[in-house]
């Protein structure tokens, strides 16, 4: 059960129901473009990089203890605690590189992904597997894609057929979604500053509040190259980065009393919004603290 009072919170933490994890990531050899979103899970550092293991177009579940079955790339968060409930208490992050700010980090619980989606095809690509989700019928879960093999420069739009939380199948994106050509692995290609860019998440049909499955993905034109993964994640919190070498901090109890819940098995990863042109090999460090009761 959740904390019943401040005294209860202190008591639970004092009795060992607490975990802290320090993480670090460093961007790759290419600079990040201002106004775009990037996935940090595939970056070197701690935890290890996500290499997007799995069979092309087949659902791959992610969790805290096994990662994607090949790499354990999510932030450790204390293991399963049921029948208690676990919550984020504090987060902080910092970069020592001037072009790393301004920016924004978003902590998400990555439910899993479909790897191996080809960008050099204009045919509908059927996705397989039924996601097992930590949120009932995908409540609050959103879709985003990540470049896993560098894309060419051909203009293309993204369309897909998904199931909402009802679950009703055959739902489609309500607007045209343009892909931004990028050779940077980790780029969220539908984000950016061009017309019809959306980020970090793909827009949902009117009235939909989450996604439980995806049936197919279709590109409007075949690119010359490129592969992406389609990810399904639940956003938990955001952390603005404003000043180089000064930690951005959030006290989720006193400063902002939201205490985002962390489900058993959560695979926690960061998404990053580049508010400026972020130099190659930019380092980011931080910590997350969890409590349960």
* E-state strands within the chain: 18-26, 37-39, 44-46, 60-61, 86-95, 103-118, 125-126, 142-149, 156-163, 171-172, 177-179, 213-219, 227-241, 248-251, 261-262, 268-274, 283-292
Which residue bears the tokens 């279709």? 218
pTM summary value: 0.97
278-289 per-position pLDDT tens digit? 999 999 999 999
Report the candidate in 288, 281, 249, 292 with the shortest Cα–Cα distance to residue 108.
288
The reported pLDDT for the residue numbered 1 is: 58
pLDDT at 161: 98
Per-residue pLDDT reduced to its tens digit, 91-149: 999 999 999 999 999 999 999 999 999 999 999 999 999 999 999 999 999 999 999 99
Percent of the chain with pLDDT over 90: 96
Predicted local confidence at residue 73, as pLDDT = 98
> What is the average per-residue pLDDT within 249-253?
95
Distance from C-alpha of 201 to C-alpha of 176, rounded to nearest angstrom: 14
What is d(CA 204, CA 174) in angstroms, rounded to the nearest whole number?
Answer: 6
């Amino acid at each position: 059960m959740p904390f019943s009072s401040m005294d209860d919170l202190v008591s639970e933490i004092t009795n060992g129901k607490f975990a802290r994890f320090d993480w670090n990531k460093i961007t790759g050899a290419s600079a990040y473009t201002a106004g775009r979103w990037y996935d940090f899970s595939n970056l070197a550092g701690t935890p290890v990089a996500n290499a997007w293991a799995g069979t092309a177009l087949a659902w791959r579940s992610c969790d805290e203890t096994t990662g994607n079955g090949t790499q354990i790339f999510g932030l450790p968060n204390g293991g399963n605690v049921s029948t208690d409930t676990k919550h984020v208490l504090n987060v902080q992050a910092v970069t020592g590189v001037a072009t790393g700010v301004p920016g924004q980090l978003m902590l998400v619980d990555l439910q899993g992904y479909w790897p191996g989606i080809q960008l050099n095809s204009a045919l509908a690509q059927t996705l397989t597997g039924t996601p097992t989700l930590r949120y009932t019928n995908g409540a609050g879960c959103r879709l985003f894609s990540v470049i896993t093999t560098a894309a060419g420069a051909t203009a293309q739009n993204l369309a897909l057929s998904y199931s909402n939380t009802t679950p009703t199948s055959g739902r489609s994106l309500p607007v045209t979604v343009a892909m931004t050509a990028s050779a940077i692995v980790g780029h969220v290609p539908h984000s950016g500053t061009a017309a019809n860019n959306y980020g970090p998440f793909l827009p949902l049909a009117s009235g939909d509040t989450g996604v439980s499955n995806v049936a197919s993905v279709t590109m409007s034109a075949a690119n010359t190259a490129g592969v992406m993964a389609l990810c399904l994640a639940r956003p938990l919190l955001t952390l603005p980065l404003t000043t180089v070498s000064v930690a951005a901090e959030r006290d989720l109890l006193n400063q902002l009393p939201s205490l985002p819940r962390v489900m058993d098995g959560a695979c926690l990863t960061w998404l990053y919004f580049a508010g400026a042109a972020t130099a190659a090999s930019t380092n980011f460090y931080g910590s997350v603290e969890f409590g349960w009761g």
